Amino acid sequence: MNGAAPGGVAPSHCAERKPVIAADQSGPRRYRAVIGWLALTLAVGGAAFWAGTTVSRPEVDPLDQPTASLYTVVAGQVGRAVDVSVTVSWPSGRPVVSAATGTVTTVNVRSGEMVKAGDQLVSVDLQPSFAAVGTVPAFRDIGPGVRGADVEQLQQMLNTLGYPVTVTGVHDAPSMAAARRWQKAVGIPGNGIVRRGQVTFTPTLPVRIVVPEDLTVGSQVSAGSPVATIVTGEPKFTIALASQQTALIPQDGQVLIKHGATTWEGVVSSSAEDRENGGVLWTVTDKAGKPVCGSDCDSLPVPGPTTVQGSVVVVPPTQGPVVPVASILGGPAGSAAVVLADGTQRAVTVLATSGGLSVVTGINPGQQIQLFGDTGS
């Protein structure tokens, strides 16, 4: 017997139990776990980010702090000059003319030489011609008994050269004897008669001369042909500047002129309009108004013009402690100061400035100063 109730209904105490289904709690627990994990991750990440930024970035960035650059003061020199071209020219005037006609056989002088009484100038047809002082040109033979101003000039030349004779204007026996001695000394065949062309008279001696370029051995001359031109003055030194240059170059600056191994010092003594080229023409002399070349003028080419190198001093050379201009602080009434390495200020006097550097007093070489930094004020 299976104990089943009639009608197929089992007794109540034997009725089949339906399982009780409880609410599934695994889902909420999983959600809470995820939320907790995320919160923990954010907390740890935030801590790590804070720690990373704190370690990698200092509280104060050194690059944000001003630093002073230091400069060690040195002893040196400051100065500046502007290069210029200087033109040298000699004035020339009256020609020295030949009294002879013929072929030039020797040229015994060169341009720029100083000629004095008794110097040989040229020879024409082998007959030499000598310089003598006189305003009357040689125009005839001076023989026995000849009178005139040209005879006086001849007698004065003989006296100058050491052949004494009384200046009478008459070529008498004593005059002819003196002339004979002179002719013998210079190698002229003669008996005291001075032939036309043996003497060339010029108003003054000694003089500096210019020899014509076309006067050469073999060239032809005639009476009255120039054999030289007298330089009538001293060399002139000029500087030609464009108008705008005068604003950059001081007229009162010292002028230095180089010629070979020699340097001449001068000043601008006058200024005039340069009508030929436009602009301004400065004349340079020494402080006394004389040519800057002094006793060396003989070394300059004659007649010129010749160009030589020069310079005008803009900032005179000045020696002393040298500091950068950037280190100098301006103060009231034109005062100046620098800042020492420890931040204290030191008053200085600026003596000269050029090229971003200044020579000052009030500080010594070897000291350190600030270029850019806190002045302590």
Q: Which CATH class is domain 102-230?
A: mainly alpha
Q: Rounded mean pLDDT of 20-43?
A: 44
Tell me, which fold does domain 70-78+318-370 have in CATH? 2.40.420
The pLDDT of residue 94 is: 86
**Which residues make beta-bridge pairs with 239?**
282
Q: pTM of the full predicted structure?
A: 0.65
Locate the domains of the chain by residue range: 70-78+318-370, 82-90+234-316, 102-230
**Class of residue 209 by CB neighbours under 10 A (exposed 0-12, middle 13-18, buried 19+):** buried
Average pLDDT score, the chain: 84
pLDDT in tens, 185-219: 999 988 999 999 999 999 999 999 999 999 999 99
Q: How many other CB atoms are there within 10 angstroms of residue 374's CB atom? A: 11
Q: Rounded mean pLDDT of 73-101?
A: 93
Non-local (6+) Cβ contacts of 144 within 8 A are: 171, 172, 173, 176, 192, 193
Q: Write out the two tokens for 54.
A: 């704190």
Alpha-carbon distance of 172 to 98, in angstroms, equals 26
Q: Where are the alpha helices (DSSP H) in 208-323?
A: none
Non-local (6+) Cβ contacts of 301 within 8 A are: 88, 111, 112
Cβ atoms of residues 139 and 224 within 8 Å = no
**Class of residue 164 by CB neighbours under 10 A (exposed 0-12, middle 13-18, buried 19+):** exposed
**Class of residue 108 by CB neighbours under 10 A (exposed 0-12, middle 13-18, buried 19+):** middle
Give the residue carrying structure tokens 């464009």: 242
The pLDDT of residue 189 is: 85
Q: Please report the DSSP string for 311-331 in residue order.
A: EEEEEEEEEEEEEEGGGPEE-
If one compares 371 and 40, the residue with the highest pLDDT of the two is 371
pLDDT in tens, 44-73: 444 444 344 333 344 444 445 455 689 999
Return the closest-CA partner of residue 110 out of 238, 212, 3, 247. Answer: 212
Residue 54's φ and ψ, nearest 5 degrees, are -70, -40
pLDDT in tens, 306-355: 999 999 999 999 999 999 999 999 989 889 999 999 999 999 999 999 99
Non-local (6+) Cβ contacts of 233 within 8 A are: 90, 91
Tell me, which fold does domain 82-90+234-316 have in CATH? Elongation Factor Tu (Ef-tu); domain 3 (2.40.30)
pLDDT in tens, 297-312: 988 888 889 999 999 9
Q: Rounded mean pLDDT of 144-152?
A: 98
Q: Write out the two tokens for 224.
A: 């009255």
Q: Write out the two tokens for 70.
A: 């230091």
